[in-house]
Amino acid sequence: MALAIDAEECVICSACEPICPNQAISRNEKTFVIDAKLCTECEGFFNTPQCVSVCPVDCIHPAETMLPIPTVKRAKLYQQVVKLFNKPDKKTY
Ligand code: SF4
Ligand code: SF4
């Protein structure tokens, strides 16, 4: 398993990059990113993920919890919600 950085919340403080024992964290043009192929959640080095412990805004999370919803799926979900709220009330008084 690997961790990932929420680019919307990252304040680009650079605290996480140097403490990663696997050199899995790097800077891109917008934010910092974690290479999922290199991140071991610090296993073998530390008991807790070091990047998480130093991040001042808690924007590093398990990668699988941060998968973006594909646009098509998002549109379908939106349609379902609209349908649900526009459903006519079956009760008649
Ligand atoms: S959890 Fe550990 S190995 Fe993974 S990116 Fe953070 S510091 Fe690096
Ligand atoms: S420690 Fe957190 S806020 Fe700072 S660069 Fe890393 S992910 Fe971004």
pLDDT tier at 90, thresholds 50, 70, 90: low
pLDDT of residue 64: 87
* Listed residue (19, 13, 87, 73) closest to 3, CA to CA: 19
Q: Is the pTM of this model over 0.85?
A: no
| Domains annotated on the chain, with CATH | 3-86 (3.30.70.20)
pLDDT at residue 69 tops 80? no
Ligand nearest to the CA of 5: 2
- Where does residue 44 fall: left (phi above 0), alpha (psi -120 to 50 degrees), or beta otherwise? left
Ligand nearest to the CA of 54: 2
Q: How close is the Cα of 20 to the center of ligand 2, in Å?
A: 12
One-letter amino acid at 51 equals C
Q: How close is the Cα of 32 to the center of ligand 2, in Å?
A: 7
Mean pLDDT of 54-79: 81
pLDDT tier at 77, thresholds 50, 70, 90: confident
Q: Which helix (H) or strand (E) holds 78?
A: helix 71-86
